[in-house]
Amino acid sequence: MGIDIQEEAYLQRDINWLRFNHRVLQEAKDLRNPLFERIKFLAIFSSNLDEFFKVRVSNLRQIKKIDRHTRKRLHLRPNKTLKQILSEVNEQQIDFGAIFNNQIIPELASNNIFFLSSSQYSNEQIDFINAYFKKEINKLEVLNPATLTPHLEDGVLYFSILTTVNQLYFVKIPTDKRFIPLPNSKDNEFYYTMIDDIVTYQVNLLFKDKEIAEIGEIKLSRDAELYLDEDYEGALAEQIYDALKQRDVGQPTRLLYDASISKEHRKLLRHTLHIGKVDLMPGGKYHNFSDFMSFKNPTSNKELEFEDQPNLDHPTLSKSKDYFKTISEKDQLVHFPYQKFDYVSKLMEQAASDPNVTHIKISLYRIAKTSALNTALLKAVEAGKDVTIFIEAQARFDEANNIKWGKAFSDKGANVIYSIPNIKVHSKIFLIKRLENNISKGYAYISTGNFNENTSKIYVDHGIFTAENKITSEIEKVFDVLERKLIIPKNKHILISPFNTRLQFNTLIDNEIQNARDGKKAKITAKMNSLHDKRMIHKLYEASNAGVEVRLLIRGFCCLVPETKGLSDHIYITSIVDRYLEHGRIYCFENGGNEIMFVGSADWMTRNLDYRIEVLIPIKDTDIYKELKHILNLQLDDNVKARVLDANFTNTYVGNDQSDPKLRSQYEIYDYLKNKL
């Protein structure tokens, strides 16, 4: 029997995403984190929020174009949601400013690191500023709305300058070097000024015949969606390149402005840029805090940063001279960023030079700008291997780089395939075919994370190398789908979206529900990035009502309503935000004492289940199962960096200073893997 689920039983995803970003902001405020790491969390919060307005707020604007009757029938309330978004963002921005001004700046000063505004320069520093401005930034472009229609570039900083005669001008702020070291006469003291302050100090040189009344920093965010034409007759990559040019002229989604400017100044800004009141968002004196990711610790005090965690060797692969032999003998499990990403690249390098390797197939979602893996793929093509590379050309904000690499592979002779219409390929898999005793044998790699050496240093992911024929043969079917050789794969072992993933997860949950009703132990444990799909949430409510213990670990947004009597009594959810970005997906089902575990690329999002190519594999190897389960349990038991996702969304830390013993999962996992060497 089903249960009656009302619309109110699903949380609005965009509001809930803001609560995830609040957890990032908490890390900037958490004094247990070193100073320069808290600065980075401010930068991450800022970057996240910029993307949110470019993507999600833009999406709400598109919904507003749907007629009111249809919106009501579909329970779409974009105006109400947008109002709530702006209210929560404003509160977070106030908290952000307080953290920066009341915590970060004083703590920097206590460590002899000083940020000076234009009113604080010494005579020596003024001489330096004058020379720097004359040499580096004296050719600033001034936009005069009175004589032309100003175009503000997406995400670029400008000064909005109001004269005493109510004329408005815009000056683009050069930010290639945002933080400028200043000369000083004291040893072991470090003085900086922001390029913004240098421009402020010298701005009168640009307006010699005008009197400036106000100056304030602004930044415009624009719609980042690519609106592709289904009837476009050219190649997809070509169409995406054309569409990318439109991002810079997309619809405004937010104008962030210095809250200290006057009401008259704001009104003139709004009319000049043709944006509504709802598009204006007050901020602090400085914007683009994402630039603080590049601000390095100038001191020798290592306590201002996280303690170093060098990438660990893998206990087996690090000693292997023949990866094919090692993987053939036993599946191998790797964990990033704890262990080196080199093992992925090295297997591909070995495949490129191995005369017995005939075919290489790989799906690439976000490609690093420079990559040992990509170099190995190019070498494989040059060596005469049959190399097929599927490239997701619509991976947001990585489109241009992905297409560039696609052209490089294609020029060398690889078979390059771009996106499938109306569906993204999000799986992280490759397959190598090798002749052994005149029989073609497959070697596969299945991961929760991208083939990207850069993100592997900060994303927590898991990857499995296997030569198990039951897995590799079905991975080959995935590539047959990508190569348009097969429409629907017939697979018995792995989960492939959008074909059987939802069905199999439903079956597994139903099995737990039945076990609970039969009086057996029943439990679902799932770690994912985000939970959004209404049908999956409904199944979890159904499981909870049947008495199934549901334990969720969700880094991002979660649209399931927790701690609600009669709905989610048996569902407990935590979220970890720490020095690394939790990115792995692990799903476990008690199954009457014979637990079933799946690992792969799919979240419980509608897009991952129904509109993307995703791959998850069952964990059959006993050693790999034990290792993954131990790591998952450490994360579930985290009482330092885990928050409870409760009914009030307070993001309260699971533990407190009195928690004993303290368990910080990312550190415990590192030590666990280190001790296995």
In a domain, 654, yes or no: yes
Asked if 68 and 148 sit in the same domain, the reply is no
- CA angle, residues 137, 140, 141, in degrees to nearest 5: 160
Task: Collect the ranges in the chain with pLDDT lower than 70.
Answer: 1-8, 59, 61-78, 138, 147-150, 224-250, 394-398, 420-422, 656-659
453 secondary structure, DSSP code: T
Q: Say which CATH number the domain at 45 has.
A: 1.20.58.310
Q: Pick from 488, 523, 542: which residue ends a domain? A: 488
pLDDT at res. 1: 40
Q: Which residues contact 142 (CB under 8 A, 6 or more apart)?
A: 169, 170, 171, 206, 207
**Do the annotations mark residue 583 as ligand-binding?**
yes
**Do the annotations mark residue 511 as ligand-binding?**
no
In a domain, 304, yes or no: no
End-to-end CA distance of the chain: 51
Q: Residue 127 corresponds to which amino acid?
A: D
Tokens of 101: 């001004």
Answer whether 638's CB lies under 8 Å from 665's CB. yes
**Number of separate domains in the chain:** 4
Asked if 526 and 474 sit in the same domain, the reply is no
Asked if 149 and 292 sit in the same domain, the reply is yes
pLDDT at res. 155: 86
In a domain, 2, yes or no: no
Pick the catalytic residue from 22, 335, 426, 570: 426
Asked if 159 and 270 sit in the same domain, the reply is yes
pLDDT at res. 185: 76
Q: Pick from 488, 512, 533: which residue ends a domain? A: 488
Asked if 152 and 198 sit in the same domain, the reply is yes
Q: In what order do the strands lie in the sheet with 157-163?
A: 142-143, 168-172, 157-163, 212-222, 252-258, 280-283
Asked if 337 and 452 sit in the same domain, the reply is yes
pLDDT at res. 174: 86
DSSP string for 88-124 = HHHHHHHHHHHHIIIIIHHHHHHTTEEE--TTS--HH
**Do the annotations mark residue 68 as ligand-binding?**
no
Q: How many other CB atoms are found less than 10 A from the CB of residue 517?
A: 12
pLDDT at res. 234: 45
**Do the annotations mark residue 434 as ligand-binding?**
no
In a domain, 117, yes or no: no
Cα 125 from Cα 191, distance rounded (Å) = 10
Peptide bond into 661 cis (omega under 30): yes
Asked if 207 and 189 sit in the same domain, the reply is yes
Asked if 327 and 460 sit in the same domain, the reply is yes
**Do the annotations mark residue 48 as ligand-binding?**
yes
Continuous H helices in 203-336: 236-244, 263-273, 323-329
Cα 484 from Cα 620, distance rounded (Å) = 30
pLDDT at res. 211: 92
- 426 counts as catalytic: yes
**Secondary structure of residue 13 in the 3-state scheme:** helix
The pairing of strands 113-115 and 190-194 is: parallel
Segment holding 546, helix H or strand E? helix 534-546
Answer whether 178's CB lies under 8 Å from 291's CB. yes
Asked if 529 and 437 sit in the same domain, the reply is no
**pLDDT tens by residue, 17-48:** 999 999 999 999 999 999 999 999 999 999 99
DSSP string for 248-281 = GGSPEEEEEEETTS-HHHHHHHHHHHT--GGGEE
Question: What is the Cα gyration radius of the chain?
Answer: 27
pLDDT at res. 241: 44
Residue ranges making up the domain that contains 103: 11-111
Spatial CA neighbour of 156 closest among 138, 176, 179: 176
Asked if 480 and 334 sit in the same domain, the reply is yes
**Do the annotations mark residue 22 as ligand-binding?**
no
